[in-house]
Amino acid sequence: MDKYDATLADWCAKNDYLNKRNLDKISTYSLLKFYVYKGLLKDWSPEQIAGRIKDDYPNDPVMTISYEAIYMHIYAHRQASLNKKLIKLLPYQKTQRRRANAKTKRGSKIKDQISIDQRPGHIENRQEVGHWEGDLVIGKGQKSAIGTIVERKTRYTCIVKLKDRKSATVRKQFVKEFKALSKNLTKTMTYDNGVEMAQHKELTQQSGVVVYFAHPYASWERGTNENTNGLIRRYFPKGTDFNTITAKQLKRVQDKLNNRPRKILKYKTPMEILIQNSA
């Protein structure tokens, strides 16, 4: 078998772009296609794939792709059987894809957002407890959801039952979770740009938790939460109607996650680390 040569790949990339303009990059290069599809099968989002490939192939011009290019590849022929399968592998499934810079009629930007760029730098090193990441896990047909918040240092997880996705509901339930914890465990939360967090200022007033917003389409900025949501999906796979899942069932899964040894915690459990840091 011929050894893969990055220099030759670079030459081929330039040559192919001149002669195969009708094909997108993923369709053109089999190794790139294999990497992207393998990532999707592992429940990675296009953002995670685009971010990770830079580390795995730092000097290979063929093995670079943007998350938007991955989305466009998937939705280019959305009625084809393969593309339907690829769409089902996405964290959020839609019948069609808007470009990231496309304007929406409703204008869903959240007012008075505090960017993750303003988040204190020491939070990044995970040496201090009390800093959380949050998101929703969406159910069947986008008609139901649960809330998830994960503490960055301990990996302690709270799974929140939601009757709907309205901002008032999400704020109320998250505040309830934070108030059940000791004060030193409730300092900040990093969230995505979902409109369910529109009442972030009220959440801060009621719980003391300052909410920072990640950059759009930058799920790796909440990587702990993304990974945890993947673990939750093992119990509640895509297509689950969360309206039929009870709070007791959610609590059972929460307890499983918080009481299993984690390699990253030197085989301690999130619950054990949380208790050690609760004083």
Is it the case that residue 102 has pLDDT exceeding 50?
Answer: no
Phi/psi of residue 136, each to 5°?
-110, 150
Which pLDDT score, from 0 to 100, does residue 3 have? 54
pLDDT bucket at 13, cuts 50 / 70 / 90: low
Q: How far is it, in rounded angstroms, from Cα 270 to Cα 154?
A: 5
Say whether domain 116-276 belongs to CATH 3.30.420.10: yes
Mean of all residue pLDDT scores within the chain: 86
- Entry field: residues in the chain: 279
Which pLDDT score, from 0 to 100, does residue 5 have? 59
DSSP one-letter string for 100-114: TTPPPSS--PPTT--
Which pLDDT score, from 0 to 100, does residue 74 have? 86
Q: What does the domain layout of the chain look like in residue ranges? A: 6-88, 116-276
Average pLDDT over residues 101-129: 79
Tens-place pLDDT, residues 227-246: 999 999 999 998 999 999 99
Is it the case that residue 210 has pLDDT exceeding 80?
Answer: yes
Q: How far is it, in rounded angstroms, from Cα 269 to Cα 260?
A: 5
Tens-place pLDDT, residues 188-202: 999 999 999 999 999
Is it the case that residue 91 has pLDDT exceeding 80?
Answer: no
Quote the pTM value. 0.64
Q: How far is it, in rounded angstroms, from Cα 88 to Cα 12?
A: 32
* Cβ contact 175:203 at 8 Å: yes
Strands 210-213 and 188-191: parallel
* Cβ contact 160:146 at 8 Å: yes
